[in-house]
Amino acid sequence: MAKTVAKIMGVILLLVGVLGFTHLLDSLGAHLSPVHNLIYIVSGVISLYFGLAGSLGGAKAFCTIFGLVYLFLGMVGLAKGDLMLGPLMLGKVDHGIHIIVGAAYLAGGLLTKKP
């Protein structure tokens, strides 16, 4: 399951990162700066690596750790409100997206049987 989640989420993150440069996603309320877009693109590429070329154990570990990081980021954001992390502006929509992404990755990691 982790490899499948890594592939699906990798494609989604890559698309969000690329589309963020076109401003097609601005109407969703997310704050997609060029730095934020690059983070999504790099995250998507890493996720695709684990989904396509990585081992099952590597994909499981990646999904679990990545899921925890995204969940933590989303929950801290919801608790603190709008956040400025260097060049990144994160609002409520961003926090919600991070929680959903984190939950998807974490489920992929935790629901994968041991390799």
Average pLDDT of span 46-66: 97
Q: Is residue 92 part of a domain?
A: yes
DSSP code string of 17-64: HHHHTTTTTGGGT----HHHHHHHHHHHHHHHHHHHTS-HHHHHHHHH
Q: Is residue 79 part of a domain?
A: yes
Task: Give the model confidence (pLDDT) of 13-47 as tens digits.
Answer: 999 999 988 888 777 777 778 998 999 999 999 99
Q: Is residue 115 part of a domain?
A: no
pTM recorded for the entire structure = 0.88
Q: How far apart are CA 2 and CA 27, in angstroms?
A: 31
Structural domains in the chain (count)? 1
pLDDT band at 92 (very low <50, low <70, confident <90, very high): confident
List the domain range (segments joined by +) for residue 63: 2-110
Compute the chain's Rg from CA coordinates. Answer: 14
How high is the pLDDT of residue 77?
87
Q: Is residue 64 part of a domain?
A: yes
Task: Give the model confidence (pLDDT) of 69-79 as tens digits.
Answer: 999 999 998 88
SS3 assignment for 7-25: HHHHHHHHHHHHHHCCCCC
